[in-house]
Amino acid sequence: MTETLKKKLFINGKWQATEHFTKLVSPYNGKVLAEIPSASMEDVELAIESAHQARKTMAALPSHKRAAILEQLAGLLESRKEEAAEIIAKEAAKPIKTAMVEVARTIATYKFAAEEAKRIHGETLTMDATADGEGRIGYTVREPIGVLGAITPFNFPMNLVAHKVGPAIAAGNTIVLKPASQTPLSSIFLAELLAETDLPAGAFNLVTGSGSVIGDQLVTDSRVKSISFTGSPAVGIGIRNKAGLKKVSLELGSNAAVIVDKGINIDKIIQRCVSAAFAFQGQVCISLQRAYVHEDVYDEFVQKFTAATNSLKLGDSLDPSVDISALISPGDVKRSLDWIGEAKQHGAVVAAGGKSEGNILHPTVLLEVDSKLKVSCQEVFAPIVLINKVSSVEEAIDLVNDSQFGLQAGIYTENINLALSAAEKLEVGGVIINDIPTYRVDNMPYGGVKKSGTGREGLKYAIEEMTEMKLIIFNRN
């Protein structure tokens, strides 16, 4: 990525200069990484109009050509995957080995989008199921919605962008992308790659800068027909309130939980649970935040989980051996320490961590945490996990459901009846049996209930959110 490209927006297939910039600094060491353009209202207007003008061209593009563009993009990303991972590691302080996993998933996501572009279809209707339908043929088709406003977070700056850009292109839509202010370089890199594909000019537009400026314009402009947002519940609810009759897909917060039943081989699940809690410093929407462990295996689970936590390596995100690096901002370190302090004041036991070095918060394990405390009932988005003892799976299910969120939950059990009961009773968008709540592959439906949002990601399911159904009926009488 060249310095010149870092300092421009991407609008209507061209690199667009703007007047104002902000310095982007590394979360790990505070060094300046780049100067990022701050889009003005005029820049955003130009981006929206470019997408609006390109919408008919994209809608008319045959599905095989849309698929080919996405395959081109996946191939270009594959050829520059090390560079992509380094960008993520620098701007997000994501450990480089974790960043490489994100890039691999992003490539797969664009390939899934290419496949789904070729199988967007409706259904035929049994019109003669009623007497008034005799002699008629009915069917549905799915059509592009038009201009999509995509607003993305910092924690997966390539893959969560792919979950909006990929299905939007597959469906024949145009896009105005506003990435997180902390991680714009990944989206600038994406614009570089898309500029090398056969994507029509104006189909993809990138504007960086203030969310209050860009986001409000996208949400309120009548030319933008759909908003896809991943971020905080407060911002998501604000978007929904302003969006009017637009389609709105929201992937919001969570405080994901796992249930561990008696009879489970603890050695088999510890590393998996530790990874779920602390991957990318816990800054994952479905990061394991709450563990409810049966009293018969509780002590063993805590001892082995704590030992594994203490073995994690902290340091520079570019070091391939590092497991934990800096949180995205100093403010998040302070907030996390405040929440840990509150838990301690109310009787929680700190079994590991509970301190920081610079912007690195040591992975923290809390025991005996009251359910009303912030580390339990709010989204911590930091390397903090609580482990509480339960006497039954039924008790654990009630505790998991005692939450304003409901994205995903996991349960480890050898009892098929308990597994089926949990699948039925857990108030979440996804139940993962015999695995962590943090499990996700990119073609599965992904989304939540309650304050965790509305709509579903996963390429096929996102395309449904990004298209309109049209009914056609022929009268043969």
* Active-site residue (options: 102, 251, 379, 465): 251
How many residues are recorded in the chain? Answer: 477
Name the residue type at position 410. G
Side-chain half-sphere CA neighbours of 130 within 13 A: 4
Eight-class DSSP state of 390? E
Identify whether 285 is a catalytic site residue.
yes
Answer yes or no: are the C-beta atoms of 269 and 365 closer than 8 Å: no
> Cα(115)–Cα(102) distance, rounded to whole angstroms?
20
Answer yes or no: are the C-beta atoms of 176 and 202 closer than 8 Å: no
- CA torsion sign for 350, 356, 359, 360 is negative
Answer yes or no: are the C-beta atoms of 410 and 436 closer than 8 Å: yes
Report phi then psi at 454, rounded to 5: -135, 150
Q: What is the CA radius of gyration of the chain?
A: 23
* Active-site residue (options: 285, 379, 457, 465): 285
Q: Which residue has the tokens 């890039």?
A: 103
Strand (E) or helix (H) holding 25: strand 21-25
- Contact residues for 246 (Cβ-Cβ < 8 A; gap 6+): 219, 224, 225, 226, 227
Q: Identify how many contiguous H helices and E strands the chain contains and give both numbers.
A: 16, 24
Identify whether 251 is a catalytic site residue.
yes
Question: In 109-203, where do the E strands start and end?
Answer: 124-125, 136-144, 147-151, 174-178
Q: Report the catalytic residues.
A: 251, 285
